[in-house]
A = this chain, B = another copy of it.
Amino acid sequence: MEGIERVTIIGTGLLGGSIGLGLRAAGWGGTIIGVGRRRETVERAKQLGCIDEAATEIGPAVAESQLVVMATPLGAFRAALDAIAAADHDRLIITDVGSAKQRVCDDAKLALPDPTRFVGSHPMAGSEKQGPQHADADLFRGRLCILTPEGTAAGEHAIATVSGLWRTLGMRLTTKTPREHDRLMAAISHLPHAAAALLVGLADRKNALGVAATGFRDTTRVASGDPTVWCDIFKTNRPAVVEAMNELIESLQDFRDMLADGQDEHVFALLEAAKGARDRWVEGEEA
């Protein structure tokens, strides 16, 4: 965060609010400007201590900042990039928190006069809860943040600044191409989200929710996420999600056939392999 005196956060919900709280908790001494479309929301974020200054227009809010973070749902990024472009200056570094990266990097290249000052970020932290009242200074601590500098041919200073932001919030960093990021997220986040929503719908149609227990609660937790946020994610990562859905459909058809045909040793092998893979992963995470 060297040389950064003013940070602008566009969108002061759970993620944007947590960035503000986290910077403050880490002892960062600069000024945090929050931008929201609705005066009420952004003033609430200020009252909660997430930001120092509340604004409703992006232009003036980035004019004197050295770093701007787009933390709205993905659907608002394109308009935000245009507004940033209109107020751009050569000391401004730009990043985001979007869960899909190819489209965001492409949009940054189209919208910004100097896309090499944009570094795509995906801080992998969140909650199904929404709004600055659920913001948490430790939301990002210990979590993984994926950077996609290749997507905009980002410069060294930009990469160092954005890396510094996430490190200040306690995150671990890794770098992927936007395409690889999107393919991975489709597998471990977007597809499981769709499956959770569909499982809730199925159980609801069968009037089965009344007897659902803790397993169902965990399995479907993500389905309580904001539909606006998630619809934007599905739209933005459309091809990778469609591909992952086709693979899950195929897996389900195979499993159904095994079960229907009484190939129980194959059912067992599949369950055992899944347990093994998941247990190894959890152990690795906890190590």
Contact = CB atoms under 8 A, between A and B. Distances in A.
Contacts of A242: 256, 259-260
Contacts of A201: 251, 270, 273-274, 277
Interface string A207-226: 01101111111111111111
Given A144-B211, A216-B192, A235-B264, A252 B249 contact: yes
B202 A244 contact: yes
B199 A191 contact: yes
Interface in A137-173: 143-144, 146
A28 interface: no
A226 B222 CA distance: 24
A238 interface: yes
The 10 A-B residue pairs whose C-beta atoms are closest, nearest first, are A197-B274, A227-B271, A187-B208, A227-B272, A204-B277, A188-B212, A231-B268, A200-B274, A245-B256, A198-B251
Q: How often does this chain occur in the complex, in copies?
A: 2
B144 A197 contact: no
Contacts of A251: 198, 201-202
A225 B218 CA distance: 14
Nearest to A176: B211
A201 to B, nearest CB: 5
B184 A211 contact: yes
Contact of A252 (B212, B219, B226, B245): B245
A40 B223 CA distance: 43
Interface stretch (A11-19, A61-69, A82-90, A278-286): A278-286
A81 B273 CA distance: 31
Interface string A115-147: 000000000111000000000000000011010
Contact of A216 (B189, B202, B212, B272): B189
> Which of A174, A212, A244, A268: most chain B Cβ within 10 A?
A212
A286 to B, nearest CB: 11
A187 B213 contact: no
A208 B193 contact: no
16 contacts: A124-B211, A124-B213, A188-B216, A192-B219, A194-B252, A195-B199, A197-B274, A198-B248, A198-B255, A202-B247, A215-B221, A224-B282, A227-B272, A231-B268, A238-B260, A246-B256
A124 B264 CA distance: 24
A209 B274 contact: no
Contacts of A124: 211, 213
B200 A278 contact: yes
Nearest to A281: B209
B221 A218 contact: yes
A213 to B, nearest CB: 4
A151 B20 CA distance: 59
